[in-house]
Structure 1
Amino acid sequence: MSSHFCHNNPDKFVKINKPIYGAIRYCRRNGGGHVCFVYGTWKGKMLVLGGNQHDTILIEYPDPTSKGVEYFVPIAYQKFAEKEQEKGLQEVDIKAAQLYFGKAIKINEKDSFDPHEYR
């Protein structure tokens, strides 16, 4: 599937102004783009969920200075998304996620997350 599917299917996806849980985050980059799902926040930073990195699920912080970032939801969720944008993203219980998903979840965080802390 192309990372441009949201742009190429306006009858199925709608762009939203602010990220909500489950929204598709699209980021333009040289040679195409990258998509992932918005998961929440941790320590005030947005977390996203990607599934095509080294055969694992990866929760990571996207670079907040990335340019060309857009958020999409299926068109059927547009009204729901409008209400959710007012609430903002919720803080993630990283311990619960780690316990539930186990080794499938890896946090790409350089400065303060120790995955051994939650085992």
Structure 2
Amino acid sequence: MGIMFIDPGRLRTELMLEAAVTTADGAGGHTEDWQVVATVFADVEPVGEASRFGAGQAHETVTHRVTLRFREDVASGMRFVRDGRVLDIVTVRDADETGRYLVCRAREEGR
């Protein structure tokens, strides 16, 4: 595996990194809210799409590759948000194991 070179100018899309916070509701369940962890700049690249039909309607999904500077606190289950668009983080990896960049696979459901 070689070292990954990225033009820093490509990391120009501003995203909010959010994590789910659960709170007990007092009746044995919980509520889920999203809390902003950080603002990051990334390169967002769509890499695939899928369409499936169910329950009488079409469900559209777009998969993105999101590249950002390395952070210890990014994990699957978190999400990126920008202008009402939500990209759910599916996988997170250090692409070349140098601790410089993270490459996340993220899924955006059609609205």
Which structure shows the higher helix fraction?
A: 1
Q: Which has the higher contact order (CA 8 A, sep 6+)?
A: 1
Kindly name which structure, 1 or 2, has the bigger radius of gyration based on alpha carbons: 2
Which structure shows the higher strand fraction?
A: 2
TM-score (norm 2): 0.28
TM-score (norm 1): 0.27
